[in-house]
């Protein structure tokens, strides 16, 4: 006799898969970001740039949690999560529009010209 997983159980699995996928995407973006920083930053500025990157990486989650909590307390948890996700997508699109060179970056072309 087989049992069907409950609706709640399947939602938990879906949520766990989404979190795992988001973590994977975050790791990939971190690798790309570090590779570009190492390749594009002059040696004399490596320490300063790495320090700034570390401050951003260390503080961004806490600031995001503060923002999410503030929005959730003023509205609802669902609105906070949805608006935060939409704002992340909008910020990414605005960054790409403001700095189109990021979209065109190709480490292979930099290596060939070096």
| pLDDT tens, residue by residue, 14-67 | 999 999 999 999 999 899 888 888 888 899 999 999 999 999 889 988 999 999
Residue (of 27, 25, 24, 30) closest to 53 by Cα position: 30
Domain locations along the chain: 1-40, 43-114
The Cα-based distances of 75 to 61, 72, 106 in angstroms read: 21, 5, 42
Q: pTM, whole model, 2 decimals?
A: 0.63
H/E stretch holding 22 reads: helix 7-40
């Amino acid at each position: 006799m087989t049992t069907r997983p409950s609706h709640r159980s399947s939602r938990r699995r879906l949520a766990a898969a989404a979190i795992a996928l988001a973590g994977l995407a975050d790791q990939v973006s971190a690798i790309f970001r570090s590779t570009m920083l190492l390749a594009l930053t002059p040696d004399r500025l490596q320490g300063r740039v790495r320090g700034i990157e570390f401050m951003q990486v260390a503080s961004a989650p806490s600031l995001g949690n503060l923002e999410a909590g503030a929005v959730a307390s003023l509205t609802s948890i669902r609105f906070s999560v949805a608006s935060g996700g939409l704002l992340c997508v909008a910020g990414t699109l605005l960054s790409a529009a403001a700095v189109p060179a990021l979209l065109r970056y190709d480490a292979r072309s930099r290596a060939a010209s070096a």
